[in-house]
Structure 1
C-alpha cells in the first residue's frame, strides 16, 4: 500500500488539531483512495484523544521516505504556518509547559520537497502573522508548494504580500466543517447518554489559562444566568495543552458543584457527541464553534485573546453579532443568541471543501509535482542561507554589544552605590563644618562688637 505523510500538531492534546487526520482519511476513503496516511509531528507520541494511533517524529521523515517513499506530503490544517515557538503542555498529565517547535511542521516538508521533489500539499492551514523582513525567505518557501490552500482571507493576503500569485492560492473553509460525516447520529446520542447529558438541555463552556480574572468573573455570571434558566452547565476542556482543565476545574469548584466537567479526558468522538447535542456552545475554541455549528447548535465566541482566525470565522458564518471580546458584553450576547440565532447554511462551505479534497485526490492520483523544483533553487537556497547567517552574525554582534553595555552599566551602578554612601558621609561632614564655620563667624562677630562697645 502506498503511503501519504500528513504533518500537523498531533502530538499534543488539542481537540481541533486531532480532527484533521480523521477528516483526511474519511475524505480519501469516500473517494476510493486506498493510501496509508502516516502522521508526523515534532515529537514521537501516541495521538491524544485517539487510542492506538502512532505519531512519528518529523526527525524520522527523511529516513522513512528513503525506506519507502511517500507518494505525497500533506500539511495541516490548523493555525500552524509561523516561526514562533509557544509554551505548550505536551500531555494530559503534565503540569509543565515547554516551547513547541511549530515551524518544523511545515519547514521539514518543504525540505523534503526541495531534496526529493515529492509533491507537497497544504490542507487549508492558517497563517496568523504577517512576514515583514523575511518576505524573500517566505517567498522561497511558499513558492515550492504544489497545491496551496489556506483557510481565511488574512492568510491569503500574507501569501500574496510574499509574492505568491493570487491564482495559485486557494482559499478554503476550515476542513473541520466536514466532521459531520465522521460519526452516526445514533452513536453520538449513545455517547451523550453514557455521559448523562440530555440533548438540548445543557450549555457547553470552554476557556483556557489565558483568561483574565475580570473575564472569568463575567463568564461565571453568564453561566449562572444560564443555569438559572434551567440549562445544565458542562465545562469542556478542549486544549489541555493550554491548561484548560485546571482553569475549568477552578470554575467548577467555584460553582459549588452546580457546573459539571469530565472526570477524565474524553475521546475525540465523545467531544463531538457533547458539542453536537448542546443547546449552546460558549467559549474561545475555534473548533468548539465549528463542531457545534455544524450540528445546528447555537454558538457564542468569547474571544478574549482576540484572534484573527476566530474573528474571520464568525464573519464567514454570518455570526458577527455573536463574537465577543469584552466580558461585559457576554451575558447580553448569550441571551441574544438564545432568542435570535438561527442555524447556519453550510451548503457553500461543504461544496468548497468537497472541491478541495477532489483537487487533493487529483494531485495524489498523478503522483507527480504540479510545480517541479526549478533549476534556480540551489542559488535561491544559497541566498537564503546567506541572509540567515548575515542576520545571525549581526544579531550576535548586537547581543555582544548589549552585553558589554549592560556590564558597563552594572559597574557604574555599583560605583554609584559605593560613592553614594561616601557622598552622604562627606555631605554630613560638609554640613558639620558649615555649622562650625557659622558658629565661629558668629562668635567672632559678637566678640568684635563687644570690644567696640567697651571702647566707646
Structure 2
C-alpha cells in the first residue's frame, strides 16, 4: 500500500528560531498518534540548517512538481497569510534584501515580480495561501494551522478577492490570536477559529530536564534576564535603553544575558545585541549554536524580555514570565493579550522601569499558570490531530 503524504509548508528555510519550531512540533505530534502519513517538509527555497537543529526544507518549486490531486497540504504557522514573494525572499537572500532597499529596484520588482518568477514554477499568487487551480489540480486539501496575518481580507480590491478565493477552498483555518481572527470577521463562512501557536507545545517534546544534552557547558548562569531585540524593532536610543536595562538588572538582582533568536536578513538580532554588549560589557552575550541553546536559556531564565513572539511563546511554554518589548510589534502584544490576559501589554522602550516590569510580572503570574498552559496545549494538540485525521 502506498503511504499517504502530508506536505508541510512553513517559513522554516531561514535562520529564525520561531519558524524552525513549526515542523519540529508537527512531526512530534504526527509520531505520537502513530499516523501512516509520510511527512514532507517544504519552504520557499531548499535549505539545510540541520546543524542549527532544524529540518531540511524542499523548495516551493519542488512542492509544485511533487504535489498531486487530493494531497493534504498544511500551512504550519507564522505571520504568513497573504505574505508576498518579495518580502519573503528578502528575509532569505541577503543580496536581494540589500537591493530592495533601493526605491527604483523595489519599483521594478513590483512591476516584474522577479521573486515570484524565480521561486514558483506556476507563479502562484501567494506562497502560503493557495487553491487547487494554482497548481493546475482538480482538488487539494489545504489546512491552515495557527497562522497569523490576514489583513488583506479587510480590503476591497483585487488582492482581497484573490485572498478570499484561496481561503474559501481551505478545509480548516485556525489563527493564533484575536488580531488575526478580527480580519476574518466579515467572512464568517470561512469558519476561522483562534488556536494558540503550535510552539506552545515545545516543552512537552523538549522538557527542561532534557535540554541540557543539546547545549554546551558554557551556558550556566546565575539568576538572569534573557534579553532579545530585533534589528528593526529595537529602541531608537540604544544608550538610554541600555542604562534602563542596567538599572532593572540591579533592582531585580538578575544578570542580563543577550541572545539573538533571529539571524536571517531583516531579523539580525545579533547586530543590535552586539552593539548593546559594547555599551554594557558586563552583560553576557551568547551566540547560539542551535535552537536548543535558545530554548534552554529562555526556559532557565527568570524573565524573558524581547521583541520576538516565539521567544515569548517559548517562555510561556516553560512557564517563564515573559514581557514583550515595543508596542509597534502588534503580533506580539496581540498574542499575549489573547492567551495571557486582555489587560496584558507590551512595554515601550521608554517604559522599562522596575515598577512597570513588576506590574506586568504580577499580571503574568496571576493570569497564566500551569492549568491555563495545559488547556492551551490541549487546544493545539486537538487541532493538529483533527487536521491529521481528517
TM range (shorter): 0.7 to 0.9
Residue 160 and residue 197 in structure 1: after superposition, are their counterparts in 2 closer, same or farther (change >3 A)? same
- Alignment match, 2:225: 203
- 1-side partners of 2:300 and 2:60: how far apart? 37
- Decide which structure has the larger Cα Rg and report it: 1
- The answer to whether structure 1 residue 155 and structure 2 residue 157 are counterparts is no
**1:336 counterpart (359, 384, 388):** 359
- 2-side partners of 1:95 and 1:114: how far apart? 29
Deviations 1:32-68 (A, max 9, x none): 11422211111111136645732111012132235xx
* Contact 1:298–1:337 (8 Å) recurs in 2: no
Higher helix proportion (structure 1 or 2): 1
- Alignment match, 1:253: 278
- 1-side partners of 2:271 and 2:95: how far apart? 11
- Alignment match, 2:382: 355
Where in structure 1 are there 5+ consecutive unaligned residues?
A: 364-456
- The alpha carbon displacement at 1:275 in A equals 0.9
- 2-side partners of 1:347 and 1:55: how far apart? 30
Residue 206 and residue 285 in structure 1: after superposition, are their counterparts in 2 closer, same or farther (change >3 A)? same
Where in structure 2 are there 5+ consecutive unaligned residues?
A: 101-114, 120-124
What is the TM-score with the length of structure 1 in the denominator? Answer: 0.70
- The answer to whether structure 1 residue 317 and structure 2 residue 354 are counterparts is no
- Alignment match, 2:35: 33
Count residues in correspondence.
Answer: 354
- The answer to whether structure 1 residue 86 and structure 2 residue 87 are counterparts is yes
Deviations 1:89-116 (A, max 9, x none): 437x989646687964324565467614
Deviations 1:185-227 (A, max 9, x none): 322245567233236x111111111245545344312320243
* Contact 1:192–1:270 (8 Å) recurs in 2: yes
- The answer to whether structure 1 residue 123 and structure 2 residue 153 are counterparts is no
- 2-side partners of 1:116 and 1:12: how far apart? 32
SS in 1 for 2:73: strand
- 1-side partners of 2:98 and 2:66: how far apart? 30
**2:286 counterpart (244, 258, 262):** 262
Deviations 1:73-98 (A, max 9, x none): 1012001002444374437x989646
Deviations 1:118-163 (A, max 9, x none): 31111121125243113332221111111222112232332342x3
What is the TM-score with the length of structure 2 in the denominator? Answer: 0.81
SS in 1 for 2:80: coil
- The answer to whether structure 1 residue 290 and structure 2 residue 313 are counterparts is yes
- The answer to whether structure 1 residue 279 and structure 2 residue 281 are counterparts is no
